[in-house]
């Protein structure tokens, strides 16, 4: 598989969403958590979403509870937290595993496409980020510590 368009995920309401719906858009896919030292990055992610909302750009956020149980809530609780505290308007999906035997196929594809720092394949922590071009190909993987504003130039370049 060379792009994400044949992958189906579930949204926060458990509806199946084919990522082919995002064909032609530049995407930033992020595993998120509400009780993490990096949770403040929701603000930066929302800023990116606002800045590029008219430019065929979307952020897709996938809550994950695999890192020190920092995302214990239900999908509804996560959505409430994100909208109330950070005014998040980008899509939040169903809580998933990003590593291990139950990892979501999306993350298997992402990790197979771009390894992390020093070739490390597993997701290191909450807020790892994958930049996807308009053809559905992974072009860059960012460490969890990479702040969203540091990705802005790369997004602009992909958007032309």
Note whether residue 2 is domain-resident: no
Distances (CA, A) of 154 to 33, 79, 105, 141: 24, 28, 25, 11
Q: What's the CA gap between 121 and 28, in Å, rounded?
A: 18
- In the residue annotation, 36 being an active-site residue is answered as yes
Residue-range definition of the domain harbouring residue 131: 8-159
pLDDT value, residue 142? 97
The residue-averaged pLDDT of 92-107 equals: 98
Q: Does pLDDT of 15 surpass 80?
A: yes
Note whether residue 19 is domain-resident: yes
For residue 133, the domain's CATH number is 3.40.30.10
Catalytic residue among 36, 60, 82, 131: 36
Q: How confident is the model at residue 62 (pLDDT cuts 50, 70, 90)?
A: very high
Q: How confident is the model at residue 119 (pLDDT cuts 50, 70, 90)?
A: confident
The residue-averaged pLDDT of 11-40 equals: 97
Q: How confident is the model at residue 38 (pLDDT cuts 50, 70, 90)?
A: very high
Q: How confident is the model at residue 54 (pLDDT cuts 50, 70, 90)?
A: very high
Q: What's the CA gap between 21 and 50, in Å, rounded?
A: 20
The predicted model scores a pTM of 0.97
Note whether residue 79 is domain-resident: yes
Number of structural domains found in the chain: 1
């Amino acid at each position: 598989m060379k792009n994400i368009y044949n992958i189906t995920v579930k949204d926060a309401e458990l509806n199946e969403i084919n990522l082919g719906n995002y064909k032609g858009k530049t995407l930033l896919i992020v595993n998120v958590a509400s009780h993490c030292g990096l949770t403040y990055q929701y603000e930066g992610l929302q800023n990116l979403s606002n800045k590029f909302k008219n430019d065929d750009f979307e952020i897709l956020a996938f809550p994950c509870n695999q890192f020190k149980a920092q995302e214990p809530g239900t999908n509804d609780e996560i959505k409430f937290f994100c909208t109330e505290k950070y005014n998040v308007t980008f899509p939040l999906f169903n809580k998933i595993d990003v590593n291990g035997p139950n990892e979501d196929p999306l993350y298997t594809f992402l990790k197979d496409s771009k390894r992390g720092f020093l070739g490390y394949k597993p997701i290191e922590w909450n807020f790892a980020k994958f930049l996807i071009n308009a053809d559905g190909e992974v072009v860059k993987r960012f460490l969890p510590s990479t702040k969203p504003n540091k990705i802005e130039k790369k997004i602009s370049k992909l958007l032309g």
